[in-house]
Amino acid sequence: ILGFFLLIDGLIYIIANSGDRGESRRKRRLATDKAAAAAELAIEKIARQDRPLQKLSVNDYIDGLLASAGSKTPRDHIYVSMGLYAIACAIVLLIAGSGVPLVLRLVVAVVFGLIFPIMQLKGQATKRLARFIDQFPDALDLVVRSLRIGHPLATALQTIAREMPAPIGAEFEVVARQIVYGKTPAEAIDALATRMPSPDVRFFSVAVQIHHEAGGNLGDILSGLSKIIRSRFQLSRKVSALPAEGRFSAYFLSAFPVVMIVAMNTLQPGYYD
C-alpha cells in the first residue's frame, strides 16, 4: 500500500512539473511583484549580452548596461544625454576647429555623443563590480556563519540582502527574490555570476551547484574560498604598495622640468629668451 501511494505521488509530481509549468507558475508569481519582474528582465538582458549570435536591440543593450551599473536612470534619459553631448561637442568644434572640414566636425560630434554616455555607464559598472568584489569575502563569511548555526542557504542569502550595503546587498536581494519566486539557490546564484562577471562569484556558483547536486559541507568550502580571496587581495595590495615610492619618484622627476619652466616664465618672462 505504501509503495502504491508513493507511486501515485511520484506520478502527480512528474505531471505537475512537466514542460514549462514550473516556469509558468514562477512567471505568474513575478507578475504580482513589479520590482522582481524588472530585476528578472534586467538579468535576461545582461545574459543576452554574452551571446553574440543572439540578436540584441539597442534598447536591450542600454537596459543591460543600466542594470550592470546599478543605475536608476530611465533609458530615455540616456538617449537625451547622447543628444546633448553631441550638440555640445558640435558647438565646441564649430567654434574651435575652424581648420577642420565641417562634415568631419559633425561626424566627430555625433560619435562623441553616442559613445560618451555608453563609456560612462561602463565605467560605473566597472566601479560597481569592484565594490562588489571588495564586499564579497564578508558576504561569504556571513553565509558560513549562517550555515554553521543551522540556517538553510536561502535564509543565509536573505541575511546578506538585509544586512549588507549596496551593491552586494542589492544583488543578493535579487537572488533572494528569485528563490522566493521559484528558482533554486543554485540557479539564482548562477544568474548572479552572470550579472557580476568575476571568477570569485563563479567559484561560489560552482560550489553551490555541486552542493545542490551531490551534497557536502558547503560551509567549509565557502570558508576556504573566503580565505583564498582575502589572501589574494592582501597580496595584490602588497604588490601595489611596494613600487609606490618608485612610481612617485618617476612622476615627480617627469613633472619637475615642466613645472620649473612654467614657474620661471611666470616669475621672469624673459629668462629663457
Report which residue type is found at 30. L
Report which residue type is found at 266. T
User: Do residues 146 and 156 make contact, with C-beta atoms less than 8 angstroms apart?
Assistant: yes
pLDDT of 166 above 80: yes
Please give the average per-residue pLDDT across 75-92, as a whole number. 91
Radius of gyration of the chain (CA): 27
pLDDT of 8 above 90: no
Task: Specify the pTM.
Answer: 0.70
> Cα separation of 58 and 152, whole Å?
40
pLDDT of 33 above 90: no
pLDDT of res. 122:
92
List the single range of 95-104, 175-184, 208-217, 219-228 with lowest mean pLDDT. 95-104
Query: Angle CA(141)–CA(143)–CA(145) in degrees, nearest 5?
Result: 70
Beta strand extents in 11-148 (DSSP E only): none
> Cα separation of 161 and 62, whole Å?
26
Angstrom distances, CA of residue 263 to CA of 28, 135, 167? 70, 45, 46
Give the model confidence (pLDDT) of 176-219 as tens digits.
Answer: 888 888 888 888 899 888 888 889 999 999 999 988 888 888 88
Model confidence band, residue 81 (pLDDT cutoffs 50, 70, 90): very high
> Cα separation of 20 and 22, whole Å?
5
Work out the number of other CB atoms within 10 angstroms of the CB of residue 222: 24
**Which residues, including other chains, have CB under 8 Å from residue 205's CB and lie 6 or more apart?**
186, 189, 190, 192, 193
Q: What is the dihedral of CA 135, 140, 145, 149, to 10 degrees?
A: 140
Please give the average per-residue pLDDT across 19-48, as a whole number. 54
Q: Under DSSP, is residue 197 helix (H, G, I), strand (E, B) or coil?
A: coil
Please give the average per-residue pLDDT across 239-254, as a whole number. 88
Give the model confidence (pLDDT) of 41-69 as tens digits.
Answer: 555 555 544 444 455 678 888 888 888 88
Which cell is 186 given? 543554485
